[in-house]
Structure 1
Amino acid sequence: MPKIDKIQAAKKTKARYHIHLEEEGRAEYSFSVSEDILIQEDLFKGKELTKEDIDRLRHSDELDKAYQRALNYLSYRMRSEKEVAVYLKEQEVPEEEISHMIEKLRRLDFINDQRFADAFVRTKRDQSKKGPNIIRQELKQKGVEENIMNKSLDQYTPEEQLDLAIELAEKKQRSYKKESTRQKEQKLVQFLVQKGFSHSVAAEALKEADIDNDEDEQQEAISGWGEKSWRKFESEAPYKRRQKIKQALYRRGFPGDLIDQWIDEKEMEEE
């Protein structure tokens, strides 16, 4: 029966030991174990090991290494239980062992989905400026349970949602300065919904936000879109051209009186 000939501390990895076995007068390296397994299994020079013992120790060490990788994975940032489980599966850890590891990590308080979700909501609200609907979707993707999500999202108050939506709308409006007032407002609402806010919060934010709608900006906007439409329909008969340009500008959200004024001035220029 093989027996331990030498236990040698690993040079590159702390708290790991190389086990050398002697069998039939020959000693050679057989496997490595962590310090925890070395102590738990009471391994010492001269101890005899069966083939089953060796296989079990190697399997235990593989699981221990996977567990240590999981701890390292958790050291970079907080993770949900599902994220850790997926990571362990990628490390080819058997399903039944994954459950045991998750339970151990939970028991030692290395993973806690409620704490994870609370921190996730705060980060996405304060740093990523996202609304609650997007945050809820992302928490679902990370496997967080519904009741935990609801509790975490309760900290994102309606007042905070509205304040952030107003802030985002006022900043984003610069992107739509070439649009009509109506088109700008529609795009801002759509933008806020895409950021994760409800339609009602987005609409309320537009009412309270300081949105620039001065006449000079509107005149510049209709001139830009009007010139594009004029070039497109320039070869049409005057009446038909006028109707098509009016339709195109109306679809862009410009009011009828402003459209007629622009077309009248353009036609006078062309005479």
Structure 2
Amino acid sequence: MKITKLEKKKRLYLLELDHDTQLYITEDTLVRFMLSKDKTITPEELTEIQTFAQLSYGKDLALYHLSFKQRTRKEVQLYLEKYEIEANIIPQILDNLEADKWIDDQKYVETYLYQNQLSGDKGPQILKQKLSQKGIPLSLIEEGLQEIDFSPIAERVAQKLAKTYAHKLPHHALQDKLFQSLLNKGFTYSQAQTAVQGLELEADTELEDQLMQKELEKQYRKYSRKYDGYELQQRLTQALMRKGYDYQQIKNSLRDYL
């Protein structure tokens, strides 16, 4: 077989043979096999060229993908599959990149967890879930999580949430809101409980009275259209208790309001 055409096409070269075979190869492939127009190659050499071209092209794609940010082995694998790199070639590319430290899942975990320590708001359960979704082995994730003290992170998140909701919720509801928010962010029951207790929140009676009055007016507009008397009082009591207000406080407010 003879090479009849060898033409540069952006980042690749188009190689054509005299028996109507054509393929795209990288510059590394061109240099490695010393390819040129009119050169004769055997079927075995063609197979080697095709394999190396896929390997070289796949690695170039992967390095381009990695140039933007750190990625896991699984993320790079999916990227190569998207560009239809042959399935049997992909593991070789990934192993090569790992050997050269372009891909390092353990380092990825360390960096991810460190960033969360600095400014993140996620607990161990959410972090474990997110890292698993990136294809990182569970053993690496758990090893990294064991090195982290999540108490300061939970405290930081609790303080931030407290500033957001302190003037919007009664004392009991605020505690519940902070505790549930921390659980939703992946912190354990113990971590969430300790963080909320550490805030030493105190009830502001005057503020709670204002919040109660505002909520009572809102609920009254809602239920007074359908109910009155005892039934209205029960509906209002239930609605306010769901909002976290104290029963005796509700009872006193209703006596003055109705």
Q: Which structure has the greater CA radius of gyration?
A: 1
Alpha-carbon deviation of 1:20?
A: 6.9
Q: 2:120 aligns with which of 115, 124, 128?
A: 128
Against the structure 1 CA distance between its residues 212 and 77, is the aligned structure 2 distance closer, same or farther, given a 3 Å change threshold?
Answer: farther
Number of positions where the alignment pairs a residue of Structure 1 with one of Structure 2: 256
1:96 aligns with 88
TM-score, normalised on structure 1? Answer: 0.82
Q: Structure 2, unaligned stretches of length 5 or more?
A: none
Matches of 2:10 and 2:75, distance apart in 1: 29
Give the root-mean-square deviation of aligned CA atoms: 2.8
Greater displacement, 248-257 / 138-147: 248-257
- Whole-Å separation in 1 of the counterparts to 2:181 and 2:229: 38
Asked if 1:266 corresponds to 2:257, the answer is yes
> Which of 242, 247, 262 is equivalent to 2:233?
242
Aligned pair 1:193/2:175, yes or no?
Answer: no
Give the distance between the partners of 2:236 and 2:132, measured in 1 at CA.
47
- State the shift of 1:94 in Å: 2.2
TM-score (norm 2): 0.85
1:233·1:241 contact (CA, 8 Å) conserved in 2?
yes
- The CA distance in 1 between the partners of 2:220 and 2:245, in whole Å, is 15
What are the superposed Cα offsets for residues 110-151 of structure 1, whole Å, 9 maximum, x if unpaired?
A: 111111111111123323321111111111111111221122
Cα 1:19–1:253 change in 2 (3 A) is closer
Look up the match of 1:162.
151
Shift of 1:74: 1.2
Alignment of 1:204-223 (within 5 A): 204-211=194-201, 213-223=203-213
In structure 1, runs of 5+ residues without a counterpart are none
Distance 1:178 1:265 in 2: 23
Question: CA, structure 1 residues 229+29, in 2 after alignment: closer, same or farther (shift >3 Å)?
Answer: closer
Provide Cα deviations, 1:67-107, integer angstroms capped at 9, x if missing partner: 20011111111111111111111111222211111111112
Query: CA–CA distance in 2 between the matches of 1:108 and 1:233?
Result: 68
Cα distance in 2 between the residues matched to 1:86 and 1:126: 29
Instruction: Tell me the CA shift for residue 45 of structure 1.
Output: 5.7
Q: CA deviation at 1:214?
A: 0.8
Q: Does 1:175 align with 2:162?
A: no
Give the distance between the partners of 2:237 and 2:38, measured in 1 at CA: 96
Structure 2 Cα separation of the partners of residues 202 and 118 of structure 1: 23
Cα distance between partner residues in 1 of 2:220 and 2:63: 65
Q: Return the offset for 1:202.
A: 0.7
Q: Which region of structure 1 is more displaced relative to structure 2, 184-193 or 238-247?
A: 238-247
Q: In the alignment, residue 82 of structure 2 is paired with which amino acid?
A: E
C-alpha distance in 2, partners of 1:114/1:196? Answer: 21
Aligned in 2, Cα 1:258/1:232: closer, same or farther, shift over 3 Å?
same
Aligned 8 A contact 1:78 1:116 in 2: yes
The SS at the match of 2:25 is: strand
AA of the residue aligned to 1:163 = P
Give, in whole Å, the separation in 1 of the partners of 2:15 and 2:153: 60
Distance, in Å, in 2 between the alignment partners of 1:243 and 1:45 is: 92
Task: Kindly provide the amino acid, as one letter, of the partner of residue 256 in structure 2.
Answer: E
- Any idea what the Cα deviations from partners look like across 1:193-246, whole Å, max 9, x if unmatched? 111111111111111115353112211121122112322343644333323322
Contact 2:171–2:204 under 8 Å retained in 1? no
- Distance across 2 between alignment mates of 1:163 and 1:108: 36
